[in-house]
Amino acid sequence: MKIAFIGMGTMGKPMALNLLKAGHQVTVHNRTREREETVVEAGAARANSPLEAAKGAEIIITCVSDSPDVEAIMVGENGVIEGAESGAIAIDMSTISPSVTRQIAAKLGDRGIVMLDAPISGGSEGAQKGTLSIMVGGEVSAFQKAYPAFEAMGKTITHVGAIGSGQITKAINQVIIAGTYWGIAEGMALGLKAGLDMEKVVQAVGGGAAGSWGLTNRSDNMIQNEYPLGFRVKFHRKDLNIALEAARELGVPLPIAAFVEQVETGLMTRGYGDEDVSNIARAVREQADI
């Protein structure tokens, strides 16, 4: 397929490379133009703007930082909306606000461009290996047309509902992580202060109802009080804010997600924003003087 890919960041670049590897015809664009180079060397064309990238593409993918970026690229000046043909599919794979997503989709829809929201999880490793989880919202027929592109980038590809649903699913993912990681952090702090052999404790409780991906893969960070990447706490906090905003619009109170977001703000203030999000255990440990 003819695919435009806008956003050559840590995630976008390897994702575009996987599209090339799968035999797609890829045109790339990035605000900082030098970041296009690796992918161009691997066989991609380059475009001067989102408008130009979108011309003649069957699928236009964005993978950037936040709601205003996606808005500017999709429906701003020299944006996708000015270049894409009617019938093209615009797919945003960033993590942004579900309601902003729906606004953008409405504007694109007026020009006959169908939008899917398809945020991802699985980190830069998943982007490189093509094993991302992709949570897709939007029309089923567009999802089916775009499936070969998703397949080149991800492993677990799930259509979850109407436009915006992918973003809400990503928000749910981050909310669950907040509670799960915090629960693990409290448990680890209790055991550390009591002087237990924490490796054995994790082994003892990990096989039962307390078990989780976080306990298996992040409790050691918390025990060592060292938080290599992973997923940056500053990005998790950005995503929690999206979740809290969406929840506020829907009228759903999320007290623990809000609490963890506040703790993450404190960690960022103190210069820990680029550590893995399991560093919320810092706050639990410190309050117990561990």
Residues numbered 127-146 forming contacts with its own copies, rule: CB under 8 A: 133, 135
Residue type, 254: L
Q: Which of 19, 114, 160, 163 binds its own copies (CB under 8 A)?
A: 160
Pick between residue 72 and residue 157 the one whose CB is nearest to its own copies. 157
Q: Which of 21, 145, 155, 170 is catalytic?
A: 170
Is residue 4 involved in binding its own copies (CB under 8 A)? no
Is residue 180 involved in binding its own copies (CB under 8 A)? yes
> Minimum distance from CB of 174 to its own copies (Å)?
8
Contacts of 108 (CB under 8 A, 6+ apart): 74, 75, 80, 81, 84, 90, 114, 115
Six-digit token pair at 179? 């509670």
Pick between residue 63 and residue 171 the one whose CB is nearest to its own copies. 171
| Residue 231: C-alpha distances to residues 3, 7, 134, 154 (Å) | 28, 19, 17, 18
Q: Which of 32, 41, 86, 208 binds its own copies (CB under 8 A)?
A: 208
Please name which of 70, 57, 30 lies closest in space to residue 46, comparing C-alpha atoms: 30
The yes-or-no answer on residue 170 being catalytic is yes
Is residue 169 involved in binding its own copies (CB under 8 A)? yes
Q: How far apart are CA 267 and CA 280, in angstroms?
A: 8
Report whether 84 contacts 61 (CB < 8 A): no
Pick between residue 18 and residue 165 the one whose CB is nearest to its own copies. 165
Length of the chain counted residue by residue? 290
Is residue 165 involved in binding its own copies (CB under 8 A)? yes
> Minimum distance from CB of 183 to its own copies (Å)?
2
Q: Please choose, out of 44-52, 60-68, 101-109, 249-257, the segment that lies near its own copies by the rule CB under 8 A.
A: 249-257
Six-digit token pair at 255? 């007290």
Q: How far apart are CA 67 and CA 12, in angstroms?
A: 16
CB atoms < 10 A from the CB of 64, how many? 23
Restricting to residues 212-231, which ones interact with its own copies according to CB under 8 A? 212-215, 217, 231
Pick between residue 87 and residue 147 the one whose CB is nearest to its own copies. 147
Is residue 189 involved in binding its own copies (CB under 8 A)? yes
Report whether 152 contacts 40 (CB < 8 A): no
Pick between residue 48 and residue 156 the one whose CB is nearest to its own copies. 156
Which residues are identified as catalytic? 170
